[in-house]
Amino acid sequence: MLDQINGLHHVTSMASDARENNRFFTEVLGLRRVKKTVNFDAPDVYHLYYGDEVGTPGSVMTYFPFPGIRKGRPGTGEVSRTAFSVPDGALGFWQERLSAKGAGELTIGDVFGAKTLNFSGPDGDAFALVEVPEDRRAAWTAGGIGEDQAIRGFHSVSMRLRDEGATAELLRFMGFDPVDTYGDTRRFALANGNGAHVVDVETVSSARHADQGAGSVHHIAFSVADRAAQAVVRKALIDTGYQVTPVIDRDYFWAIYFRTPGGVLFEVATNEPGFDRDEDTAHLGEALKLPSQHAHLRDYLETHLQALD
Ligand code: ZN
């Protein structure tokens, strides 16, 4: 069993409108935009990163806004919900705020014994806020959201699968322990994680496969400290029979990717070098940053990418 993985690093989803996506995450949820860059493979599409002050691994929600793409159809073989951690007692504030700002599908309940507020994002993205009493991660406070309410980072992700078997085995191999069950959902957690170290696996054997689109999670990335830890994880996965990509330089972290048995795309990303690699912490996310191979497109992209602010 591996012990290099600390929890989630980032969650990457798709959106249909960059400006609306930016507005929702910064103005409604109060996260900080920590990077404005473009998709490595499709440089005319943004890659937007939102998180805490510095984009600490475990806090970073990222988006590819493909202008006008159709909405995803939820189903199996995907991440069905992304949950953020908020302080104990904060859900009343959030229920009022999200309702006033037009977030959809607000429902409040108890999940695994924690008060949980479900809501949807601009493209029907399934989110939740979970009250966590002792989350000591620093908050980014902005836009009228105080220390007592602000998001601390991810709490968990939920995957909806037809069959949990092989994925459960993989999660155990990655260091996660099954810690609880609730209906058709089994909860996995790391013993000493980064705060964003819970993965729920819901088994729905009869549901149809998801059709990915706007509002769908594209992949989830798990955090490792550095490239040495990543190399250990990569070798172990390959030795177990997984097809893992070579290490790819993503400018702010190094990444490897592999498809899991249940259909969800996993990434393992390093905590180094981080989002302050190419701009001051005070100005993270303000300027358009381009991967070096796309630097020659700057004039074109500055003109053609939708203005966010
Ligand atoms: Zn990623």
Q: DSSP secondary structure string, 25-58?
A: IIIIS--EEEEEEE-SS-TTSEEEEEESTT--TT
Q: What's the gap in Å between 218 CA and the centre of ligand 1?
A: 8
Question: Looking at residue 109, which CATH number applies to its domain?
Answer: 3.10.180.10
For the residues 15-34, what does the mean pLDDT come to? 98
- 225 in a domain, yes or no? no
Measured CA to CA in angstroms, residue 154 lies from 31, 34, 113, 193, 251 at distances of 12, 16, 17, 12, 22
Q: What's the gap in Å between 146 CA and the centre of ligand 1?
A: 29
Measured CA to CA in angstroms, residue 128 lies from 50, 80, 83, 109, 157 at distances of 16, 11, 4, 10, 9
Residues of the chain above pLDDT 90, percent: 96
- 231 in a domain, yes or no? no
Q: What is the pLDDT of residues 227-285, one digit of tens each?
A: 999 999 999 999 999 999 999 999 999 999 999 999 999 999 999 999 999 999 999 99
- The number of distinct structural domains making up the chain is 1
Q: What's the gap in Å between 269 CA and the centre of ligand 1?
A: 7
Q: What's the gap in Å between 43 CA and the centre of ligand 1?
A: 16
How much is the CA Rg of the chain, to the nearest whole Å?
A: 18
**Full residue range of the structural domain in which residue 282 is found:** 7-220+273-304
Q: Are 40 and 291 in contact (CB under 8 A)?
A: yes
Whole-number Å distance between alpha carbons of 12 and 45: 14
62: closest CA among 94, 87, 39, 28?
A: 39
For the residues 19-44, what does the mean pLDDT come to? 97
Q: What's the gap in Å between 257 CA and the centre of ligand 1?
A: 8
Name residue 276's amino acid: D
pLDDT band of 102, cuts 50, 70, 90: confident
- Output the pLDDT for position 142: 86
What predicted TM-score, i.e. pTM, was given to this entire model? 0.98
Q: What's the gap in Å between 220 CA and the centre of ligand 1?
A: 6
- 230 in a domain, yes or no? no
